Amino acid sequence: MQYNAPSFIESDPVSIPHLFSAREDIEISAFLTAAISWGLRKSILRNARALVEMMDMDPYRFIRSFSEADLKPFRKFVHRTFNGDDCIFFIRSLQNIYSFHGGLESCFVSGQEPGVKLRISAFRRKFMELPHQPRQEKHIADPVKGASCKRINMFLRWMVRNDGRGVDFGLWKSVSPGELICPLDIHTGNIARKLGLLKRKTNDWNAAEELTLSLQKFDPADAVKYDYALFGIGANEKMFTF
């Protein structure tokens, strides 16, 4: 369990929400970090840290009470294709969610849509209910349209799982670990195929579900814990012979 351990945290995006102890601060920082978690890991960590620093290391208070002047520094924010306009829309939408939808967890489970797929899609509709540019829709993937939703599935893993190893937070009790879908990107997909866990060639939602079903054969109640193993093999692929 080299990667499902506290020693893993420092070099991973999950280190950003681990800067906080209050539930809402963890949720908000985790969501924003997951939203920009693609590309070089150093850039993700640097830019995610910059986001919470611009919130004075007090994300929930900032989201609830920011002024228009407080948003000015965010206009210059850039992480790959996620720009300042996108960032400000995310901040406004988070305020809307905490003010009118009971927070991120309530927003995910309201209506009790069956299954994570429909819950993510329903959450996405709520997140996008404020006026926004079409470009901002690409930053929250929609599984109903076939996207693998790697970043939001990773965020859900952080929020839902708690196996006592200190990486995932286990804050959300209304979703069980057994409902989660394994985060799937090109690296995880390649390793899963080499191990015979995944046959589908496209890294889409169907592939994420197929991989999760394969992992459920080992532990139906917590299949996504094997995301750590897949990551570890990917990080040290040269050490393995397939």
124 versus 2: which is more confidently predicted?
124
On the question of pLDDT at 242 being above 80, the answer is no
Binned at pLDDT 50, 70 and 90, residue 3 comes out as: low
Nearest CA to 155 out of 88, 107, 196 is that of 107
Residue 108 structural domain:
6-239
Instruction: Of 59-73, 100-114, 197-211, 217-231, give the lowest mean pLDDT range.
Output: 100-114
Task: Please indicate, yes or no, if residue 49 is contained in any of the structural domains.
Answer: yes
Q: Which helix (H) or strand (E) holds 105?
A: helix 104-109
Q: Which two tokens stand for residue 46?
A: 């640097």
Q: What is the pTM of this model?
A: 0.94
User: Could you tell me if residue 198 is inside a domain?
Assistant: yes
The answer as to whether 145 is a domain residue is yes
Give the model's pLDDT for residue 232. 77
156 belongs to a structural domain: yes
Report the SS3 class of residue 43: helix
pLDDT averaged over every residue in the chain? 93
Residue 199 has pLDDT above 90, yes or no: yes
Q: What is the pLDDT of residues 122-181, one digit of tens each?
A: 999 999 999 999 999 999 999 999 999 999 999 999 999 998 888 999 999 999 999 999
Task: State how many domains the chain has.
Answer: 1
Please check whether residue 233 lies inside any domain of the structure.
Answer: yes
Confirm whether 1 is domain-assigned: no
6, two tokens: 């506290």
What is the spatial distance between Cα 149 and Cα 157, in angstroms, rounded to a whole number?
Answer: 12
Both tokens of 16, joined, read: 């950003």
Ranges 105-109, 112-116, 131-135, 202-206: which has the least confidence: 112-116
**Is the pLDDT reported for residue 73 higher than 80?**
yes
